Amino acid sequence: MPLISETPAWKHLSQLRGELQGITLGDLFAADAERAAKLNVDLGDLYIDFSRQRVTPDVLAGLVALAGAADVPGFLKRMAAGEAVNTSEDRAALHTAVRGTEGADVRTDIDAADAAMQAFVAAVHAGEIASAGGQPFDAVLAIGIGGSELGPALALDALGDAAGMKLDVRMCANIDGIAFERATAGLDPATTLVVVISKSFRTMETGANAERAQAWMRRAVGENWAGNFAAVSANVDEVGQFGIAADRIFPMWDWVGGRYSLWSAVGLPVALAFGWDVFAELRAGAAEMDRHVLSAPATENAPILLALMTVWNTNFLGCGAEACVPYDTRLARLVGHLQQLEMESNGKRVTAEGYPVDYATQPVVFGGIGLNAQHAFFQQLHQGTAAPVDILLPARAPTGDEAQHDLLISSALAQADALAFGRENMAEPHRHYPGDRPSTVIVYGDLTARMLGKLIALYEHKTAAAAAIWGINPFDQWGVELGKEMGDAVLPMLGDADAAPPSLGPLIGAVNRMRGS
């Protein structure tokens, strides 16, 4: 299969890029007063405005043709149908099936897992499943890293204010020691349920924290510690050897990738925090986006259009980064989730067939919360190196303070126009704002569980669509595996700096000197 850069559609876009030279966003709006009314996708409670992207009607048509040349709709349908779209590992990617989207014959496995998880959640909340000492659980410590932490942590943070937690649910990922201390601060181990989340149950970070949690629990309840543990894993044998009972193990499947796994039993901390109904609503919102992406034409398809804007900005306008700026404190964890979702998925240098690409793939994702970001890195966006921005904005005030929310909305919309149109001041160059900084504005009614699911799925499908265009596999992560392997090799060198290679010897020596060893 040829590289996408060799197709007529790509070459036509390269030509259109040259024709865009000297045409500003201001010119595009001046030429078409209906531009903002035309360049959007309106899904009722979700409105996505692409009008501030540097695309002409011809460019947009060319991008849609590029999606056709790459068979983006076909790729998304094959993914949902259960084909082995993860070619390097010969696996399906059926996160859509877990949230109820039809297309693959795995319903029996999903229904069984859901029934077990739902019963467990209800029993914990009712006090029927209690701690080793017979007391009801009042807290949950969820241990995991990567997709086992980022998605659940996003949902916990985003929904905690509105849904109200039934249990005090904390997440622990890092192994510097401080993370565990902070996650367990104020918790009584005797009434804390520890949920260890790891597909292999051999992940170094998760294993280290699980052992620390086990020791923490032993000190409180003795040899009955396992009564306060549950696990989410594909490796039942390894979990059993650790000491967790079989009826406390919930499944993970090799056909659901880690960064797409929130919808599976990996979301158990979310269900324990808010109840099964809220978790079901989260899934339902994602399933709504599944139906949209699988049925809407590319010209009206929100995830595909988001992907096309990233491809245009990256491969034709030369942008190496893109920002995500939610004007919603509840989405503080979204950027971290998207960093894994997009960069781990699409940060690749070869196609799914193994051929080196001759074009850039995934740009760096960065971001921050609205007004905070304006006072942190928006200076660069306005007058430094340009980076496209996704601005996310809730229409309704989450606390009911409409006057304060008006300030937030006006700030967000003003930034979108300031980035697009700038302000000319040739007499004072330091106060000249060139504009032509592309952005997409995403407005949603309120951040319910259903809306959060819809937003996460929007970016999941954007990621898969961009991968289809670049011809890469978004469902493996061999670069991550390399880091794990090399970490295992370096560990024994810490006790013997002389055995380390020249690149590491001085560093290990410095570390040991500062440790006093």
Q: How far is CA 517 from CA 438, 507, 512, in A?
A: 53, 14, 5
- Provide the phi-psi class of 396: left if phi over 0, else alpha when psi is between -120 and 50, else beta: beta
Which of 149, 344, 382, 461 is labelled catalytic? 344
Q: For residues 337 and 352, is the Cβ–Cβ distance under 8 A?
A: no
Q: Which of 289, 323, 301, 320 minimizes the C-alpha distance to 451?
A: 289
CA gap 153, 143 in Å, rounded: 11
Residue type, 288: E
Name the 3-class secondary structure at 103.
Answer: coil
Is 348 a catalytic site residue?
no
Is 484 a catalytic site residue?
yes
CA gap 256, 180 in Å, rounded: 27
Q: Which of 91, 15, 106, 125 minimizes the C-alpha distance to 59?
A: 15
CA gap 274, 264 in Å, rounded: 16
Residue type, 296: A
Q: How many separate helices (H) and strands (E) can be counted in the chain?
A: 22, 11
**46: Cβ–Cβ under 8 A, 6 or more apart, which residues?**
302, 442, 443, 444, 445, 451, 454, 455, 458
Is 375 a catalytic site residue?
yes
Q: How far is CA 243 from CA 200, 247, 248, 252, 422, in A?
A: 15, 12, 11, 18, 61
Q: Which of 161, 362, 156 minimizes the C-alpha distance to 279?
A: 156
Instruction: Tokens for 31, please give them.
Output: 């030429």
CA gap 304, 287 in Å, rounded: 16
Which of 102, 375, 402, 424 is labelled catalytic? 375
Q: For residues 146 and 340, is the Cβ–Cβ distance under 8 A?
A: yes
Nearest-10 Cα torsion for 431, 432, 433, 434 = -170
What kind and span of H or E run contains 69?
helix 57-69
In 102-228, which ranges are continuous DSSP H helix?
A: 107-126, 150-163, 178-184, 204-221
Active site residues: 344, 375, 484
